[in-house]
Amino acid sequence: EAGVAQSPRYKIIEKRQSVAFWCNPISGHATLYWYQQILGQGPKLLIQFQNNGVVDDSQLPKDRFSAERLKGVDSTLKIQPAKLEDSAVYLCASSLGTANTGELFFGEGSRLTVL
Amino acid sequence: ELKVEQNPLFLSMQEGKNYTIYCNYSTTSDRLYWYRQDPGKSLESLFVLLSNGAVKQEGRLMASLDTKARLSTLHITAAVHDLSATYFCAGRSGNTGKLIFGQGTTLQVKP
């Protein structure tokens, strides 16, 4: 079974530039999450989708971050304009849904460096 | 909102020794998760603990959950170098199913 796919793996940009990350979840997984992991910290949820609807985006800095999940499958996370403090690994995860064990399966992550 | 705290945050131990990582959480969480992360890698699921008193074991790792004490433990038996990694616990928050992670415990096993 294919895992969660993410791209790009690495991205270096200057502050005030924009960047987009892509995620393809495990086939059949209805729930998709974007987490931000700053070096030395645990992952922090940015946004959660159930199919193509947003369930929780309370921690998403909406003035600069946006995310969408068209057709309930792939998702993109965009940052515009980027700030230095956005340097982090952006992890995409998917799960079958809350009715099951709720276990999240993570992708390899997209490492962003903002200069 | 649910808060998850781990201790210790860093653990250096000798091969062959036993130790325990503690995970406390602030409000009700009906299930608890343990993940492993190697440097530069993603998170790998280790255990899902679904009910009070749940105990799961895989190799030299054993996880348990006490929902009344709001405490989960990850016990390492006879540590080996391959167990060196960062371990995260996470509780499930509310009805949305989102996971709230602790700060992580970095384990370094020395020969």
DSSP state of B105: E
Question: Distance of CA A48 to CAs A34, A58, A75, B57, Å?
Answer: 7, 10, 11, 30
Contact state of B41 with A97 under an 8 Å Cβ cutoff: no
Nearest CA in chain A to B106: A40
The answer to whether the CB atoms of B98 and A95 lie below 8 A apart is no
B101 and A42 within 8 Å at the Cβ level: the answer is yes
Evaluate if residue A41 carries a pLDDT over 70.
Answer: yes
Q: Which residue on chain A is closest to B95 by alpha carbon? A: A98
Q: What is the pLDDT of residue A1?
A: 66
Q: What is the per-residue pLDDT across A21-39, written as a single tens digit (0 to 9) for each?
A: 999 999 999 999 999 999 9
Q: Is beta strand B98-101 parallel, antiparallel or unpaired with respect to A105-106?
A: unpaired
Taking CB atoms and an 8 Å cut-off, how many pairs form between chains A and B? 59
Task: Determine the pLDDT at residue B31.
Answer: 87
Residues of A in contact with B90 (CB under 8 A): 42
State the Cα–Cα distance between residues B19 and A84, nearest whole angstrom.
Answer: 38
- Is 80 exceeded by the pLDDT of residue B91? yes
C-beta atoms of A31 and B97 within 8 A: yes
Mean per-residue pLDDT, A62-66: 97
Beta strand A10-13 with A110-114 is parallel
| Residue of B42, B97, B103 lying closest to A98 (CB–CB) | B97
Residue A14 has pLDDT above 90, yes or no: yes
For residue B30, what pLDDT is reported?
77
Query: In the predicted model, is pLDDT for residue A71 greater than 80?
Result: yes
Identify the pLDDT of residue A99: 65
Cβ of residue B65 closer than 8 Å to a chain A Cβ: no
Q: How far is B40 from chain A (nearest CA, A)?
A: 9
**What's the mean pLDDT in A6-15?**
97
Give residue B3's pLDDT. Answer: 93
Please state the rounded mean pLDDT for residues A12-18: 97
Residue B4: per-residue pLDDT: 96
The pLDDT score that the predictor gives to residue B53 is 86
Domains and CATH numbers, chain A: 5-114 (2.60.40.10)
Main-chain dihedrals φ then ψ at residue B34, nearest 5 degrees: -120, 135
Which domains can be identified in chain B, with CATH numbers? 4-110 (2.60.40.10)
Q: Round to whole Å and give the CA distance between B98 and A62.
A: 19
Kindly report the length of chain A: 115
